[in-house]
Structure 1
């Protein structure tokens, strides 16, 4: 999940000119749930995001542990540049030992920061629970920004128990990275609900999609007040200034004529002991039209039937009988280079099986 080439250093060297110019930065999205798109980000948007982050969590030294081809990795370099510091680099595959080694290259006098995805945090937490060196390293950070996908509650609780300072971030490439920290939008960012969908406005928005004016217009509409907003595709709520994301508008199946949010099903399933890291996807079903399937890489104790029944009971109680998963599958779960779950690849694999 880290970039092992010299590219991060080359990108960092070119940042001063890039951020002071007018030429946009192009980032191709991961395509974890659909077709990849090339997002056009202006230097002004990147600077606005980095400055708002510094205002929220402070400035200091940054560790790059993500590819710079993703906005979260690029923003680490931008934040370090604006803070007047040189980033540390995690070379090679992401491992606890590599993380510790990179941490030792960081100045001890400055506050430490990094951005990770949940899978990376899980790797560090598991090691920190038994290895004092890893525990000391992760505790030395003022904040670990965790984004890219939802942070499982059990993982957050384990990190808290270790004294790790985690900040949940919400955003996308179209918003220059995370623009909501622990549920609270960054300064200058406006998040509201329109038609059940979370929409975002502010100086961190991308210019649009390269070579696709129609998609740009659909994703970044201008409202009646002349305010340009980004349609996230996420459902959620904003209550007392706190943003709560409930799922994806397009991650829904119709089972027996009833709309079922797979995000809600997955959240309930992950609350069942032994299924904390389960993934729920939709598949075709001869009887119901569509149904959900639980995918896990391993089954503790080997009793998959019992886990499936426990999950079905939990989902029926929390959402309704129509949302109950039809089966449980044990297989490897694919991830993108960014560390995010590759749901599209997983759906294809299950369909083929």
Structure 2
């Protein structure tokens, strides 16, 4: 087994200029994150965990300069830099990353908070799945689990998880499907507070309706300029809809998704009605918080050194009481 690489505290202090504010990348729920440069020139991000006990606890990560995916696809200027080839590379990279967690790591890992702000982008725009604060480890003969503590982010949580506390690899598949549709469309499924944003129609419902009507142009981000949409774009929309199906059993595994993305000889099944195809209102109208608390989830080892953290909100202990398919 490969041992974890450990650093001397003095080396980290020197790399981060003694954790100076000038080197601070952001503030997360579990501590601050600092930019650093090692003596060999390697750039790192250092998470300095909150010191409740007085002991210094640090995590050292690879520094990724392009921040997180949400900073690109939801920004009207930056998303124009994401041509289709780049978006397709990001989709396939995320798929391979999640497949590794589900199939190839020593223990099966259910992420439980896959979203655009938790996908980091390196200098080559390669995606990195991040923020495992809500992840659960499974034995390989374990397929699902239940919880009374629902944690995650509005718009990305699978219905069986929100309604009943059931989570499995298929819960992550649902979240991946939402990510795919967001990357293709450049639109948020829901905003960080559970609202639908400018459009009163939830993205999943919008994509489902447009796809059924054959109006693909109505789905694809206008920044993706193409007179004839490529087979890859159509295929990604199709795969996204397969992943957000209400039926858990009907959703593909991530291993199947990777095959679908990389082989056009594989015939895709026809997707069924997506979950949560709601047309009006917002998710906060459909929720009842048990204790009214929320947690912050932050892609905190990426981006530029701004001196202040970007904050997104994750729902903690929430039960959705009145969702309905359209």
Same fold at TM > 0.5: no
**Would you tell me which structure has more strand in proportion to its own residues?**
1
TM-score, length of structure 2 as denominator length: 0.29
Give the structure, 1 or 2, with the largest relative contact order (CA under 8 Å, sep 6 or more).
2
**Would you tell me which structure has more helix in proportion to its own residues?**
1
TM-score, length of structure 1 as denominator length: 0.27
